[in-house]
Amino acid sequence: MRTSVSKSPTRGTRIAAASGALVVALSFASTTAAFAEVKDNGGAARNDSDNTASLRASIADGPAKNVILLIGDGMGDSEITIARNYAYGAAGQLPGIDALPLTGQYTTYSLYKDGANKGLPDYVPDSAATGSAWATGTKTYDNAISVDIDGTPQNTLIELAKANGLRTGNVSTAEIQDATPAVQVAHVGARSCYGPDSASCGADALENGGLGSISEQLLDTRADVTLGGGAASFSQTAKAGEWKDLTLNEQAAKRGYQLVGDVAGLEAVTEASQEKPVLGLFTAGNFPTRYAPTTATVGGANSAVTCQESAGRLPAELSLSSLTDKAISLLDSDSEKGFFLQVEGASIDKRDHSADACGQIGETIDLDEAVQSALKFAEADGNTMVIVTADHAHTSQIVDSTPPTSLSTAVTTVDGTVMKISYGTAAAGGSQQHTGSQLRVAGYGPGAANVVGLIDQTDNFFTIANALQLNRDLSSLSASASVALQKATFAPGEDLAISVAGLSGDRQLTGVIQSEPVNVPKTDVLNGTAVISAQAPTELGEHTVTLTGSQSGKVIEARFSVTPDGNPLPQPTDSAAPPVAGGIGGGGTGAIGAGPFAITGAEAGPLVVLAVLITALGAALIIRRRRQHSAANS
């Protein structure tokens, strides 16, 4: 699916049309409720008029400057209905989730990794496979984080958005290493590879030559804003690589991250960028839930309860809606480049696994409030797409009577009546299962019409990538990269300042200085640039700095000389030009070199023409002399 950009409306037109459609959507429930009761003819109707015009107005062509993707983990249609019934009544409306004007459904199946069924549908997926699908556009196997069924890493929306110059954010109420936030920042074969101490990392561990644990790769991916739980993994110590023997917290600080862990720290943050990314970790593990648990039992639906606020709930400033507001405020800027933000309400799934009706209801309400925050921004901005969906369906079902053998709970809703909820895929104390049904996906803003109808989870990747006009070819984004030194000749051991530019498709680089081989440490590339400090070799003669982009594979080189005193050696008048300090690499029409002695393509053109003319003149003189010689001998 592709978003049409041929007739893109103006910002003002988008604001007027899309905002009007959102207002109409928000007004449906209130207008019908004001004039009738549900017992009356038409009293339960949600449409109070012909909505053709408002639906038409809600369709805006892309591209979009910004995209906000909100995920309710485990939030199937049943979980949405349960939360709506409890908090707003059967005829009510969730102010955020139900307000988006464009709605579709998508399929969520994963794939078998190996064996006779390799590559065939696995009908009930997990959060790792489903998240990888929308993050990369590639279906994979359960347990995999943004790798395909053969283990090959797949570029994610956050990685691609960064490479294209957009700001990026990742917010969750789970541990930030959990599957849904992890799929945007890491590539591992086992979702439990949280930190350097995780035994499940296997070949993905740094010490085994892999990309590292999810937490370590998160630091490499370097989203501008990361907010959630999971602080415990960052107290672990790196076992290999450039930051060996440092904790991940210490590593993050050395790499320029702004580390925050409480409300005061978060409120003090006023900017986020590649130079100063924000890493906010507010709990050791997952966030506490909004409502205290009400664990289902066999026969439990025979008596109804009312959900109670959890005593351990975090302050309002750390609610999912507050974190969404904070992330948007840090990512939004006057730059022509926009942002991509993923927000997850994580514990709908976790409480569903635990047959905890009040827990999952509270987490759905929390997500709905975050959706309201996103829509408020999008409506004012006029150039932001909002997509709200889930990763997979879950167990909970609204039932008519207390089931005789399965777990159940009953809650008293805002309607004043009792709603009975059954959990029938595991016994008491077990983990309730995911289910394989299709899910709601809803959208608002430029390009959001691509969610309508029956689509697949992977379509979300292309809808978002196309709306943001992302160039997905990292090699092309780094094709014009160059490297330069501050001069062409150095004394032995003198400081080198290696400057890199144009490496936009990469997040890190590595390299070597030779003739005496000295490895260049893995270095973060920020907005396509990097500055590396090194020392010139002690060996006299010509040397080369060779750098390689870790993601694109782009190779760039700079040549320099080492002399006893750091001054250029005297050159005979007819000798070749001295070596230049600068980048050379495949493709493009950029500079030959980039240092003080560099010759650009524009400067070299006239010299080439002059050389051709001189050669042609010489050839003409030779021909003339031969003709004269032939005439004299004839």
Q: 13 pLDDT band (50/70/90 cuts)?
A: low
Q: What is the pLDDT of residues 537-594, one digit of tens each?
A: 999 999 999 999 999 999 999 999 999 999 998 877 665 545 444 443 333 333 333 3
Binding positions are 73, 178, 180, 344, 349, 353, 391-392, 434
Q: Among the listed ranges 6-20, 228-242, 342-356, which one has the minimum average pLDDT value? A: 6-20
Q: Which of 54, 78, 110, 127 is an active site residue?
A: 127
- d(C-alpha 377, C-alpha 329), whole Å: 10
More confident residue, 110 or 573: 110
Q: 31 pLDDT band (50/70/90 cuts)?
A: very low
- Contact between 352 and 394 under an 8 Å Cβ cutoff? The reply is yes
| The pair of three-digit structure tokens given for residue 368, joined into one six-digit string | 């709905």
User: Which domains, from first to last, does the chain contain?
Assistant: 59-297+309-397+436-472 (3.40.720.10), 476-562 (2.60.40.1930)
Nearest to 346 by CA among 220, 227, 248: 227
3-state SS, one letter per residue, for 484-509: ECCCCEECCCCEEEEEEECCCCCCEE
* Mean pLDDT on 1-6: 38
Binding positions for Mg(2+) are 178, 180, 344
Q: What is the pLDDT of residue 604?
A: 40
- d(C-alpha 411, C-alpha 494), whole Å: 74
- d(C-alpha 320, C-alpha 345), whole Å: 7
Neighbouring C-alpha atoms within 13 Å toward the C-beta of 100: 31
DSSP-derived pairing of the beta strands 439-444 and 102-107: antiparallel
User: Would you call the peptide bond into 95 cis, given omega within 30 degrees of 0 as the criterion?
Assistant: no
Per-residue burial over 371-383, b if 16 or more Cβ lie within 10 Å, else e, is bbbbbbbbbebbb
Q: What is the pLDDT of residue 11?
A: 52
- d(C-alpha 29, C-alpha 321), whole Å: 23
- Contact between 305 and 412 under an 8 Å Cβ cutoff? The reply is yes
DSSP-derived pairing of the beta strands 482-484 and 453-456: unpaired
- d(C-alpha 318, C-alpha 309), whole Å: 15
Q: Quick check: helix, strand or coil at residue 339?
A: strand
- d(C-alpha 104, C-alpha 98), whole Å: 12
Q: How far is C-alpha 456 from the chain's CA centre? A: 19
E strand segments, 239-383:
258-260, 278-281, 297-298, 304-305, 339-345
The continuous run of DSSP H or E covering 85 comes out as: helix 77-88
Task: Judge whether 634 counts as a catalytic residue.
Answer: no
Residue the block writes with tokens 């997905």: 472
Binding positions for Zn(2+) are 73, 349, 353, 391-392, 434
